Chains A and B, each alone.
Chain A
Amino acid sequence: MRLRAFFASLLLTSLLGLLPSCVTVAPYQRGLLARPSMNPDEFESSEAGFQAHVFQSREGAAGGLGTTGGGCGCN
């Protein structure tokens, strides 16, 4: 079941990866994309490191949290 979900998301991600060739939005059209709520780097990057540390020490999964991990004595 989980295996199927994993490969379904792999397929979906691959399809999303094909989208780049479809669209070009000019820089002057990106005012809304610059809003804090559409810009995770600005709004919430500061919380990512500590939260990734917490999740990786309490959950079996790792990676994909937008940070590059790094070890700690939390195995």
Chain B
Amino acid sequence: MRIFCKPSRTTRFAFLVALIVLVTGAFAAADESTGTWTGNLRVQGNYYWETSTRVVAPEVRATLVSPDGVVISAGYLIDAITSASLAAGVIEDIRFTETRNQGSLSVGREFDLGEAQLRLSASGLVSHEPDYLATSLSLNGTLSLNQRTTLISVGLGYIHDNVGSVLRGANAGASDPGGRMLSDRGRVGQLEGMNLSAGVTQILAPNLWMSAEYNLLVNNGMLSNPYRAVMVQGVLTPEAHPGQRTRHTISGRLAYFVEPTRTAIHLMYRSYLDDWELAAINPEVRIYQEIGDAVTLRVRYRYYEQNRSFFFRESDVFTADDPFVTADPKMGAFHSHLLGFRGLVMLRFLANTPLDFLSRGSFDVSVDYLWQTSRFGNAIMAQSGITVPF
């Protein structure tokens, strides 16, 4: 099935607001002489495509730094998700577009402890869509030691989600011939999560640094998808996942700069294990090339492989005695390759032109292609944005 649509009214409105905010913020640079506040403004577009889903997500983010070092960052994102679904009571495939609104705010400050520095920050996020409300809070602390050669970070987070169910095409018939009307079934569950992370970043040489992190995530509640159903001995049954999940992740990164060629090489690794017996490995290599003082290019290759969770089986193999049934492609074994390109251009060449207000900023664009053996299929991910300091 093929889906294509022009940007929704909401998406076009978001782009317009983002453009106005960008231009307004850039002219605020004229007030820089007061020396009171600095910061930057970023406008970004995100795009994701796969066979049955397309996501267009414009966002805007502003960061302010007060004279005494308080950093305040706020962001807003609109996520327009277009999916092709077979609606209840309707024979043909129908394309649905749902909108997700997400707002985030973080506040942080660094405290000088003499021989060390301590940065504390708190952040919150609210994400709302017709059938899902997600909220999260997190606290982070970073201790800098040995003249900032060593950074030790600890983070603690809490998430609380209300999971709803909206049935599409429930009233299909004379009153809703297209089957597009939504029938809100209200909240069907809640999901809670606690997140703990601890990491270290260490400068090893004037052109070499590394970082390592451990992350623990414990989820309780509605961990299945209220829309997915599984064929159990010929009977369509709602998906049922265990109600708790404990997830461990270890990640590391090694970055090395080759001065003669102005090339940087980053080796990354991520390893994952949870109590659903799902394990994954995720190595990645990124190569950066600086061209002059204004352009930085990056190519990356990412590999991901996971095994299946203990309750995953092929469709129709479940029996009525199985306590857990799933139709989630993420629960099965698969692997993926990602090849991506990213470029960043400093906009100094716009100085003394009608676009001079952007000349202290930068423009970036990235495109990634994913080959996935999961049921989701291959995908394209693209992002582009402008950042303007003021």
Contact = CB atoms under 8 A, between A and B. Distances in A.
A and B: interacting chains: yes
A23 to B, nearest CB: 5
Contacts of B207: 32-33, 38
B364 A46 contact: yes
A37 B223 contact: no
Interface in B237-269: 247-253, 255, 257, 259, 262-264, 266, 269
Contacts of B263: 37
Interface string B355-390: 000000000101010001010100101010101000
B271 A24 contact: no
B217 A63 contact: yes
Contacts of B214: 10, 13
Given A54-B48, A71-B127, A72-B132, A20 B200 contact: yes
A44 to B, nearest CB: 7
- On chain A, which size bracket covers the interface? 35 or more
Given A38-B264, A46-B42, A75 B250 contact: no
B203 A3 contact: no
Given A17-B200, A35-B264, A37-B264, A58 B376 contact: yes
Main secondary structure of the interface of B (DSSP, over half): strand
Given A2-B280, A47-B383, A37 B132 contact: no
Contacts of A69: 136, 157, 159, 193, 195, 217
A38 B209 contact: yes
A69 B311 CA distance: 25
Contacts of A61: 247, 249, 270, 272, 278, 280, 282, 304, 306
B82 interface: no
A28 to B, nearest CB: 10
Interface string B50-65: 0000010101010000
A54 B203 CA distance: 31
Interface in A14-57: 16-17, 19-20, 22-27, 29-33, 35-38, 40, 43-44, 46-47, 50-51, 54-55
Interface string B177-206: 000000000000001010101001011111
Contacts, number: 222
A32 B381 CA distance: 30
Nearest to A26: B147
A75 B193 CA distance: 14
A23 B161 contact: no
Contacts of B379: 58
Contact of A2 (B223, B281, B296): B281
A22 B200 CA distance: 14
A54 B381 contact: yes
21 contacts: A2-B279, A3-B279, A6-B273, A13-B250, A20-B145, A24-B149, A25-B206, A30-B203, A33-B209, A40-B253, A40-B255, A51-B381, A59-B304, A60-B306, A61-B247, A64-B213, A64-B270, A68-B157, A69-B195, A71-B159, A75-B224
Given A37-B298, A63-B217, 19 more contacts: A16-B202, A17-B212, A37-B289, A40-B255, A43-B288, A43-B344, A46-B44, A54-B381, A58-B330, A58-B379, A59-B304, A59-B336, A60-B272, A63-B195, A63-B249, A71-B159, A72-B129, A72-B132, A75-B224
Interface of B: 42, 44, 46, 48, 55, 57, 59, 61, 100, 102, 123, 125, 127, 129, 131-132, 134, 136, 138, 145-150, 152, 155, 157, 159, 161, 163, 191, 193, 195, 197, 200, 202-207, 209-210, 212-217, 222-225, 247-253, 255, 257, 259, 262-264, 266, 269-274, 278-282, 288-290, 296, 298, 304, 306-307, 309, 328, 330-331, 336, 342, 344, 364, 366, 368, 372, 374, 376, 379, 381, 383, 385, 387
